[in-house]
Amino acid sequence: TTRVLWFRRDLRLSDHPALAAAAAEGEVVGLFVVDPRLWDGAGPARRAWVAASVRALQDATGNALVVRFGDPAVVVPEVAAAAGASAVHVTAETTPGGRARDARVAAALAERGMVGQPDGTPYAVAPGSVRTGQGTAYQVFTPFARAWRAHGWDDPLPAASVEWRRMRNDGAATERLTTALKLAPPAMPAAGEDGARARWRAFLDAGLDDYAEGRDRPAQDLTSRMSPYLKVGAVHPRRLLADLADRRGDGVDRFVTELAWREFYADVLWHRPESAWRDLRPLAIPYDDPGDALDAWRTGHTGYPLVDAGMRQLLHEGWMHNRVRMITASFLTKDLHAWWPAGARHFLDHLVDGDLASNNHGWQWVAGTGTDAAPYFRVFNPVGQGKKLDPDGSYVRRWVPELAHLEGAAAHEPWRHSEGYDHGYPARIVDHDAERKVALERYSAR
Ligand code: FAD
């Protein structure tokens, strides 16, 4: 018999339970649907990264992947019926939008006498399955992470042998992919499973031993940069966890904990879908409309070197270092007093790893409206953090050419140097010390 494998956040061939289940039944139509509702709502970086990842998957299937454009509730049953398939296999989706869409598609398939068959999850442990002794969801990270490790996960699957069934692509879909690639950020990573594997090996060889310390140094490339690959499923987290299983050290523990954050935020979103765009724990303080300052923040012209370096790295690579994500987010929410969704939207538009759960809960964590006991009154000092995390200023000089003439830590404080503004770097748009006081006053007036 023929089966359809509808690819979504699982753009890989190896270690793929849904693909293995489909292939075990006979020939497989591999399908990717460009859904205008998602496609038009995604920013240019995410579209480009998905397009590059779909192209890599197409190559890996020997060009057998079928790409179609349209509403999946129409397109998926159409393709399945045309192929004479009895079932459509998917990796189960857990986001609020994904679940609603999958319910619509399953209903449309059922009308035509076909079934939707979910297998697997984009996470090591499916969101919703780690529970407290009382069967409730975990509210904070540390006990979740402990229970998540105790729950455990499956080993990666051996590669399935797949007999692909070819069908025609449609022009509207291929055109969307081509256009998206033209608008890619200048320095996007190499897409696909091969890209993921190469980067992961480089991290195991050169980053992992120093990860526990080095992960906080944005100038050094010591983090894994697996986030874009995890986002589209070019690699599954259980593969990374399996590769770490017989290694020991602080770096390994720390890395597994970071993966647990990804799983935790997906779990929170599963239990509380409204937390995507609403405060989990509202602070009940007034927020400002930052006006032109929002543009200065978006383009990296706030006059605070570390903030500007991060925002420019985001536009150039579609990625930003984790610590700098925290500092730039703190600047928008605490120095410019904006409500976090304005920043979360910009990040989602420009990150290749842009992910509703990790991004929006990361923003809520910084804003102080989120899950954990992160003190909401903590305001990052962008200058102090710069001198601490980038002591020789090289991260700032890499991303802010107007400061390239300032040596060492001087790049963090152009206002202290007579030649600091000689190359067009903007003056500070706000006074951090004054805005910090404003933020704290708002908190104490609640
Ligand atoms: P590594 O340090 O190598 O970590 C390994 C993996 O662990 C990452 O690939 C990621 O999957 C996971 N991870 C690490 N830290 C976190 C975290 N704090 N929350 C959730 N997962 C984590 N991550 C995204 O994947 N997509 C986003 O859209 C996103 N937006 C963020 C927005 C803000 C404001 C903040 C503070 C953090 C955000 N993060 C997001 C989390 C984190 O910054 C990135 O996962 C990390 O920088 C990715 O780089 P890496 O793969 O080299 O990380």
pLDDT band at 388 (very low <50, low <70, confident <90, very high): very high
Mean pLDDT of 207-217: 91
- Candidates 177, 222, 195; CA nearest to 51 is 177
Token pair of 444 as six digits: 């104490």
Mean pLDDT of 51-70: 97
The DSSP call for residue 408 is G
Q: Are 7 and 228 in contact (CB under 8 A)?
A: no
Atom of ligand 1 nearest to the CA of 265: 20
The DSSP call for residue 331 is I
Q: Whose CA is nearest to atom 33 of ligand 1?
A: 362
Over residues 82-134, the pLDDT tens digits come to 999 999 999 999 999 999 999 999 999 999 999 999 999 999 999 999 999 99
| Per-residue pLDDT at 374 | 62
| Per-residue pLDDT at 415 | 98
Using DSSP, state whether 438 is helix, strand or coil. helix
Mean pLDDT of 58-71: 97
**Looking at this protein, which amino acid is placed at residue 229?**
Y
Which of 200, 215, 236, 262 has most ligand 1 atoms within 8 Å of CB, for mutation?
Answer: 262
Distance from Cα 323 to the centre of ligand 1, integer Å: 10
Pocket of ligand 1 (CB under 6 A): 215, 223-227, 230-231, 255, 258-259, 261-262, 265, 322, 325-326, 329, 347, 351, 353-355, 358-359, 362-363, 366
pLDDT band at 21 (very low <50, low <70, confident <90, very high): very high
ipTM over 0.95: yes
Backbone φ, ψ for residue 29 (5° rounding): -90, 115
| For the chain, percent of residues with pLDDT exceeding 70 | 100
| β-bridge partners, 120 | none
Q: Report whether pLDDT(26) > 70.
A: yes
Mean pLDDT of 375-403: 95
Distances (CA, A) of 125 to 233, 279, 327: 14, 25, 30
Q: What is the mean pLDDT of the chain?
A: 96
Tell me the CATH architecture of domain 292-444. Orthogonal Bundle (1.10)
Q: Whose CA is nearest to atom 11 of ligand 1?
A: 227
Distance from Cα 329 to the centre of ligand 1, integer Å: 14
In this structure, the number of other CB atoms found within 10 A of the CB of residue 157 comes to 16
pLDDT band at 158 (very low <50, low <70, confident <90, very high): confident
Q: Report whether pLDDT(372) > 80.
A: no
If you write DSSP's letter for every residue of 132-192 in order, what string do you get?
-TTSPPP-SHHHHHHHHHHH--PPPPPPPP--B------HHHHHHHHHHHHT--TTPPPPH
| Per-residue pLDDT at 181 | 97
| CA end-to-end distance (rounded Å), the chain | 64
Token pair of 411 as six digits: 């790049």
- Candidates 321, 158, 160, 156; CA nearest to 237 is 156
The residues spanned by each domain of the chain are 2-128, 292-444
CA 210 to chain centroid, in Å, comes to 23
Q: Report whether pLDDT(410) > 70.
A: yes
**Looking at this protein, which amino acid is placed at residue 133?**
G
| Per-residue pLDDT at 428 | 98
pTM above 0.90, yes or no: yes
pLDDT band at 445 (very low <50, low <70, confident <90, very high): confident
**Looking at this protein, which amino acid is placed at residue 62?**
G
CATH no., domain 2-128: 3.40.50.620
**Looking at this protein, which amino acid is placed at residue 73?**
A
Could you identify the residue written with the tokens 């050419």? 401
Using DSSP, state whether 28 is helix, strand or coil. strand
- Candidates 429, 262, 399, 412; CA nearest to 331 is 429
Over residues 300-315, the pLDDT tens digits come to 999 999 999 999 999 9
| Per-residue pLDDT at 170 | 93
CA distance 298 to 327: 13
pLDDT band at 221 (very low <50, low <70, confident <90, very high): confident
Q: Report whether pLDDT(373) > 70.
A: no
| For the chain, percent of residues with pLDDT exceeding 90 | 93
Which of 144, 264, 322, 326 has most ligand 1 atoms within 8 Å of CB, for mutation?
Answer: 322
Q: Report whether pLDDT(375) > 90.
A: no
CA 363 to chain centroid, in Å, comes to 12
Q: Are 185 and 223 in contact (CB under 8 A)?
A: no
If you write DSSP's letter for every residue of 49-69 in order, what string do you get?
HHHHHHHHHHHHTTS--EEEE
